[in-house]
Amino acid sequence: MQRIVIIGTGQGGQQAATSLRQEGFAGEILMIGDEPGLPYQRPPLSKAYMASGDADALLLKPAAFYERSSIILRDGTRAARIDRTAQEVETEDGARHGYDHLILATGARNFRPPLPNLDAPGVAELRTLADAESIRRRLAHTRHAVVVGGGFIGLEFAAMARAANVSVTVIEAAPRLMARAVSPQMSDLFLKLHWSMGTEILLGTMAAAVMTDADGNAAGITLADGREVAGDLVLIATGVRPNVELAAEAGLTCRNGIVVDGSLLTDDPAISALGDVAAFPGPLGRHVRLESVQAAVDHARHIARRLMRPAPQPYASVPWFWSDQGKHKLQIAGLATDADDCIVLPQPTGEPVILLFKEGCLAAVETINAPAIHMSARRLIATPSAVLAACDYDLRQAAKTAAPVAH
């Protein structure tokens, strides 16, 4: 194999290039990304970056790394088309780049709900460094922020805005916070934590339109029941959609993401997909798409290993995730969705630990500010509940004797 092209210069694309070199790939690596500049991490955009404004601290690697590793980085360049027959990627400037293997790391973009006046000045979304820079500038003059969406990004932003003394209302259509990703018990805990930060939260409430003032600037949100929530900054944080268009137009199967097999290959053996855009066979036996640093990084490492080593194992990393909301670090090991049983373990100090089970085995563990328990939990996913009951659900004790999990 002579030439590997990676489309997308985010967390997963960057890791794929790095891991290929670590695995000994000596051929050409070309990264094509439509964002300007060096690859950077997104998680701090809704956390530390908002306070510090330090964009250099976001970089995944310094500029010298790409030169030293002979990785060609075409930033600010959009891939427009994949020609699978010729094994070439065409970029928007008309250039064609041949590949022996292609890695699709195109990530996701924010979902824009069909609300009137969504393009009014003062309406923001948060996905890129450019988004974060613009929000940061506005926040200094904001009195009341209205957040549409009570998921991770909306709540991280809400906590950060409260710390900056901005008053905040969060509007969430579901009856609980972070409903797609955490247990009802954890949703409830975070509702109280956000109340204690002084955030107003409207659950089971639909946004209907962005209100505008006489100059056409955003002035808040009109709710479906006719009430109005006034505010001078509106953040739309209603989830993401995977960037599948390139793959779909090239005839690859896409269903809530680019569908890949257990080794992260698409239906074309010369094309892999990873991270936010990849729908892969998950731990519960059905295809899942995870929006996390862990998935992007572990997928990338797996693809690099598979390309460089004969007969690799199928992809089998335990999913994990974190979210910093004010002083509270939520960590999730495993997948909390589809659980059929739950045990809430009160802790002598701090918040409870929540164990979620599926068909008698540990499926996920949710913790707040308890990193040691989270690390133990990652080793214990899929352990039968009887084994954990035998040691009184002391996860740190149980992890000492657990078999190592695949990473």
Query: Would you call 45 exposed, middle or buried from its count of C-beta atoms within 10 A (0-12, 13-18, 19+)?
Result: buried
Spatial separation of the C-alpha atoms in residues 235 and 180, rounded to whole Å: 19
Q: According to DSSP H, which parts of 215-289 are helical?
A: 245-249
Q: HSE, CB side, 13 Å, CA atoms: give it for residue 215.
A: 6
> Which residue's CB atom is positioned nearest to ligand FAD?
10
Question: Any contact of residue 10 with ligand FAD (CB under 6 A)?
Answer: yes
Sheet holding 218-223, edge to edge: 207-212, 218-223, 228-230
Spatial separation of the C-alpha atoms in residues 286 and 160, rounded to whole Å: 36
- When binding is defined by CB under 6 A, the residue of 99, 280, 321, 357 that contacts ligand FAD is 321
- When binding is defined by CB under 6 A, the residue of 5, 6, 18, 35 that contacts ligand FAD is 35
Least Å distance between CB 100 and ligand FAD? 19
Spatial separation of the C-alpha atoms in residues 390 and 35, rounded to whole Å: 52
Scanning 142-150, 163-171, 273-281, 311-319 for contacts with ligand FAD by CB under 6 A, the matching segment is 273-281
Taking CA atoms, 372 is separated from 217, 336, 390, in Å, by: 47, 19, 20
Task: Count the residues in the chain.
Answer: 407
Judged by CB, which is closer to ligand FAD: 332, or 373? 332
Scanning 43-51, 204-212, 327-335, 374-382 for contacts with ligand FAD by CB under 6 A, the matching segment is 43-51
Residue window 341-380: x/- pattern of binding to ligand FAD, with contact defined by CB under 6 A:
----------------------------------------
- When binding is defined by CB under 6 A, the residue of 31, 250, 296, 365 that contacts ligand FAD is 296
Question: Any contact of residue 183 with ligand FAD (CB under 6 A)?
Answer: no
Question: Any contact of residue 302 with ligand FAD (CB under 6 A)?
Answer: no
Strand partners, 62: none
Spatial separation of the C-alpha atoms in residues 55 and 132, rounded to whole Å: 10
- Indicate the pairing of strand 353-358 with strand 361-368: antiparallel
Question: Any contact of residue 393 with ligand FAD (CB under 6 A)?
Answer: no
Judged by CB, which is closer to ligand FAD: 90, or 341? 90
Question: Any contact of residue 238 with ligand FAD (CB under 6 A)?
Answer: no
Asked if 185 and 112 count as a contact pair (C-beta separation under 8 A), the reply is: no
Residue window 54-83: x/- pattern of binding to ligand FAD, with contact defined by CB under 6 A:
------------------------xx----
Spatial separation of the C-alpha atoms in residues 259 and 267, rounded to whole Å: 8
Least Å distance between CB 303 and ligand FAD? 12
Question: Closest Cα to residue 57, out of 36, 71, 38?
Answer: 38
Least Å distance between CB 216 and ligand FAD? 27
Question: Any contact of residue 34 with ligand FAD (CB under 6 A)?
Answer: yes
Spatial separation of the C-alpha atoms in residues 383 and 379, rounded to whole Å: 9
- When binding is defined by CB under 6 A, the residue of 5, 105, 304, 380 that contacts ligand FAD is 105
Torsion of CA 240, 358, 259, 255, to 10 degrees: -60
Question: Any contact of residue 40 with ligand FAD (CB under 6 A)?
Answer: no
Least Å distance between CB 215 and ligand FAD? 29
Q: Binding residues for ligand FAD, per CB under 6 A?
A: 7-13, 32-35, 42-43, 45-46, 78-79, 105-108, 126-127, 153, 243, 246, 275-277, 291-294, 296, 321-323
